[in-house]
Amino acid sequence: MTSLFPALRGATADRPALRFGDRSLTYGQLAAATGALAGRLARYDRVAVWATAELETAVAVVAALEAGVAAVPLNPKSGEKELGHILNDSRPGLLLVPPGAELPAAVGGLERVDIDVHGTGGIAPDSAAQDGDPALVVYTSGTTGPPKGAVLPRRAIATTLDALADAWQWTSDDILVHGLPLFHVHGLVLGILGPLRRGGSVRHLGRFSTDGVARELNAGASMLFGVPTMYHRIAETLAGDPELVKALGGARLLVSGSAALPVHDHERITATTGRRVIERYGMTETLMNTSVRADGVPRAGTVGVPLPGVELRLVEEDGSPITSYDGETVGEIQVRGPNLFTEYLNRPDATAAAFTADGWFRTGDMAVRDADGYVRIVGRKATDLIKSGGYKIGAGEIENALLEHPGVREAAVTGEPDPDLGERIVAWIVPEDPESPPALDELADHVAARLAPHKRPRVVHHLAALPRNDMGKIMKRALHD
């Protein structure tokens, strides 16, 4: 098997690899720690990782990949219902945990192994893993039902990271800074595995803050990754923060993704720092599809051009491809290439529905293409998918959770524009008892405890009845009217 991380075996032992707060590992130390752990994992098909924003998560995921074992990153803030579903669906052989982490009851009797970031003595076993073998199973929300596990093969991870290296001129000299969570593609694959595949390094902030970004960029970091909410907070802070202006001004590359960065925020950042943020477009299922290139023309409001190896087309409602790049004709983005996932775990129905007969993946994103091939995303097919803070959240799973609250008779969930989060989650409730309807805080806590805190509603409206059509289907557009 070829390792996904050649630098672990190269003559780079003293080079810094990872830094989280005041703890760091060189490539030599990372090779020792992952080698020691990989030996314990090799006999499993899949292992789960309690993916806190700490050094342990990076070590555990790299160890699994070195052992040729698929890793299932878990959001440590997942509520009981979400966690129960993911563990029941993915059936990991064991759970890798930072020492001392307290685990909720939903973890059940799963064997727990503490992650030792200073482990030594082992060497990564010579795994027989092939390019098409699963590397990660990442859970992602759909419009209805519980999240689905996207199975990402080793090939997809290698291809996407190498395509980004080409587009961004990303090398071992780069030092990345970010504060993204490590249980999704953006923070984990791009933000941790990316620098390690290049033989470069990453400094993780533990949690995002504009101060942390300013500090690290002013202390030698060259690249910043973030979701639009983070760039929005940067844009808000810049005017009164010369250190942050200097930091962004000196960075080699500022990259935004996971949702659209509003043109206003692009413009504010450029006006103050002279720098342009570039956007790339991806999905859990496809990893990265397009990007504005480091050597290309940055243009606010576009996600750039297809990455090397990615085939991309826009199709009409009836599935026929749009052939003219006129910047106006809207179609659904479909993609094909080695960057794609192989399947949704245990969901052949959903996997089949996601692809056309000739292997194009239906993204559900609507876009136009300019004459020079630049892609501009203009919307999404499904109104029941909400993007809040860069997290994808399905209206259906929140509605189901709300209906499990004793004070809720009927529930509908929508997203509405939010300057900070992009969209915020709104719950429309018909209470069991109109005299004492459940309050926002109570419903937010209920959803946070069952699903995850970022899925909690931020606004609640109480109604006497939900608007329904003749078929009894809730008319969500009528709610906002």
Q: Which is nearer to ligand MCA, 70 or 283 (CB)?
A: 283
Partner whose binding site includes residue 195, from ligand AMP, ligand MCA, none (CB under 5 to 8 Å by kind): none
Q: Which is nearer to ligand MCA, 32 or 205 (CB)?
A: 205
DSSP reduced 3-state for 447: helix
Cβ within 8 Å of residue 297, ≥6 positions away:
none
| Burial zone of 172 (CB within 10 Å; 0-12 exposed, 13-18 middle, 19+ buried) | middle
Partner whose binding site includes residue 227, from ligand AMP, ligand MCA, none (CB under 5 to 8 Å by kind): ligand MCA
Partner whose binding site includes residue 310, from ligand AMP, ligand MCA, none (CB under 5 to 8 Å by kind): none
Q: Which is nearer to ligand MCA, 69 or 451 (CB)?
A: 451
The residues that touch ligand MCA, with contacts defined as CB under 6 A, are 77, 180-181, 184-187, 207-208, 227, 229-230, 257-258, 282-284, 389-391, 444-445, 448, 453-454, 456
Q: How far is the CB of 140 from ligand MCA (least distance, A)?
A: 8
The residues that touch ligand AMP, with contacts defined as CB under 6 A, are 140, 185, 257-260, 279, 281-284, 303, 363, 365, 377, 380, 392
Q: How far is the CB of 194 from ligand MCA (least distance, A)?
A: 12
Q: Which is nearer to ligand AMP, 186 or 450 (CB)?
A: 186
The rounded distance, in Å, linking the Cα atoms of 130 and 145 is: 32
Q: Which is nearer to ligand AMP, 134 or 181 (CB)?
A: 181
DSSP state of 294: T
* Residue (of 2, 118, 13) closest to 55 by Cα position: 118
Partner whose binding site includes residue 46, from ligand MCA, ligand AMP, none (CB under 5 to 8 Å by kind): none
Cβ within 8 Å of residue 326, ≥6 positions away:
368, 369, 371
Q: How far is the CB of 90 from ligand MCA (least distance, A)?
A: 18
DSSP state of 4: S
Q: Which is nearer to ligand MCA, 258 or 272 (CB)?
A: 258
User: H-type helices in 313-393, by residue range?
Assistant: 348-354
- Cα 140 → chain centroid: 9
Q: Report the DSSP pairing between strands 375-380 and 361-369.
A: antiparallel
* Residue (of 13, 109, 113, 29) closest to 69 by Cα position: 113
Partner whose binding site includes residue 149, from ligand AMP, ligand MCA, none (CB under 5 to 8 Å by kind): none
Give the Cα-Cα-Cα angle 35, 38, 39 (nearest 5 degrees): 95
Q: How far is the CB of 243 from ligand AMP (least distance, A)?
A: 27
Cβ within 8 Å of residue 37, ≥6 positions away:
59, 60, 63, 96, 115, 116, 119, 122
Give the Cα-Cα-Cα angle 356, 336, 415 (nearest 5 degrees): 75
Partner whose binding site includes residue 3, from ligand AMP, ligand MCA, none (CB under 5 to 8 Å by kind): none
Residue nearest to ligand MCA (CB): 389
Q: Which is nearer to ligand AMP, 19 or 184 (CB)?
A: 184
Q: How far is the CB of 232 from ligand MCA (least distance, A)?
A: 9
